[in-house]
Amino acid sequence: MIVFIVNPISGMKRARRVWPILERHLQQKNVLFQRYFTERPGHAVELARRAAREQVETIVAVGGDGTVHEVVNGLYGMDTRLGYIPMGSGNDFARAQSIPWDPVEALERILDGRTAQVDTADFYGTEECQGTVVSTAGIGFDGSVTRWVNQFPIKKYLGKWSYVVGVFRVLWQFQPTEVTLYLDGKEHQFNKAWLVAVANIAFYGGGMKICPSASNDDGLLDICVVDGISKGMLFLRMFPRVFFGTHIGHPAVHTFQARQVRIESRRELDIQIDGESKGKTPIEFAIHPSSLRIG
Ligand SMILES: Nc1ncnc2c1ncn2[C@@H]1O[C@H](COP(=O)(O)OP(=O)(O)OP(=O)(O)O)[C@@H](O)[C@H]1O
């Protein structure tokens, strides 16, 4: 039995439009399945948890990175296989896993029955900020952009472009601050940090290659800190280069790898986890090697 958890609003409602095509394909192939549409934020966690407890073999997230995040947080700790059909506006997890963007091809790949084991990371912040990171977390500038985008209905109309608008908006008022990182216990100090990315995969924000060497099968988290750069330089020099991963090597960019990460900041910084806004610093991450079975 395969359970499909479909977020009907993801990708500017693309998931709702495309689902009937997938349903027909499943019926033609006589696949035994159940489909749930999510009704609210957090609903996919509940649905996935229930299905995993009922020992469903495969749960398929149909939506964007936020839907994958919720489904994984629901099935986490169980031996359930995750499938993913990308329908979001960013689809960074699909990009990293080379999952086809064509929904029927992505479905075929799941039906093939292949399986791979990948890393996830646990995060521990305030009470409401705990769970599992599938892809990438961002603390600081991009956390504020995500919070800003999620506060307004702009994403409904602009999709991925809403983040570009968000970057302009947040850049205007964001002030870098002092950040202390503890990487496997070792302290690193930054005086004017813009952002800290903690990455299990290379991408975030819809294709920005923030940590180009991150891989979710190496048992490590990749960390990228942008520190001590002016607003103008950040926007003109850094931002365009992140799409190609060529920001690495710039003197304001510092990269590390670690198994455990703790982030403290003088001023509270916004956090985004897998593209979802989640509380403020301080926060900790711990890698969980080979903890998720995906198909
Ligand atoms: N019925 C619903 N109504 C409103 N929000 C929902 C509903 N179902 C799920 N959500 C929320 O929708 C949000 C966005 O989902 P998702 O990330 O999958 O799509 P996306 O934003 O289009 O894609 P991406 O993150 O790849 O850009 C998630 O935070 C999820 O909690």
Query: Residues 220-246: pLDDT tens digits?
Result: 999 999 999 999 988 888 888 999 999
> Is residue 155 pLDDT above 80, yes or no?
no
Same domain, 131 and 237: yes
Q: Which of 81, 114, 147 is the C-terminal boundary of a domain?
A: 114
> How far does CA 236 lie from the centroid of its chain?
25
Residues 7 and 103 occupy one common structural domain: yes
The reply to whether 110 and 127 lie within a common domain is no
Pick the atom of ligand 1 nearest to 66's CA.
17
Pair 145, 276 in one domain: yes
Range 110-139 average pLDDT: 94
Q: Output the pLDDT for position 196.
A: 98
Question: Parallel, antiparallel, or unpaired for β 130-133 and 81-86?
Answer: unpaired
Give the ipTM of the model, two decimals please: 0.96
Query: Does one domain contain both 29 and 108?
Result: yes
Domain holding 71, by residue range, is 2-114
Last residue of a domain, one of 114, 139, 174: 114
Give the distance (Å) from ligand 1 centre to CA of residue 278.
14
Residue nearest to ligand 1 atom 28, measured at CA: 66
From the CB of 138, is ligand 1 less than 6 Å away?
no
With a 6 A CB cut-off, is 86 part of the ligand 1 pocket?
no
Tally of domains within the chain: 2
d(CA 133, CA 121): 5
| 22 and 67 together in one domain | yes
Point out the domain boundary residue: 114, 135, 155.
114
Please indicate, yes or no, whether residues 74 and 155 belong to a single structural domain of this protein.
Answer: no
For atom 14 of ligand 1, which residue has the closest CA? 66
295 falls within a domain? no
Counting beta carbons within 10 angstroms of the beta carbon of residue 82, is it exposed (0 to 12), middle (13 to 18) or buried (19 or more)?
Answer: buried
Atom of ligand 1 nearest to the CA of 70: 31
Q: 292 is written with which tokens? A: 């998720």
Q: Answer yes or no: do 213 and 231 share one domain.
A: yes
- Residue 211: predicted pLDDT: 97
CATH number of 7's domain: 3.40.50.10330
The verdict on 197 and 99 lying in the same domain is no
Query: Do you know the residue count of the chain?
Result: 295
- For residue 205 and ligand 1, the question of a CB distance below 6 A is answered with no
Pocket test for ligand 1, best of 19, 67, 151 (most atoms within 8 A of CB): 67
Cα of 83 vs centre of ligand 1, distance in Å, is 17
Q: How many CB atoms lie within 10 A of CB 40?
A: 7
Whole-structure pTM value: 0.94
Q: Whose CA is nearest to atom 15 of ligand 1?
A: 66
Q: Each residue of 89-106: pLDDT tens digit? A: 889 999 999 999 999 999
Q: Does residue 63 have its Cβ closer than 6 Å to ligand 1? A: yes
Question: Which of 27-31, 125-129, 286-290 has the least mean pLDDT?
Answer: 125-129
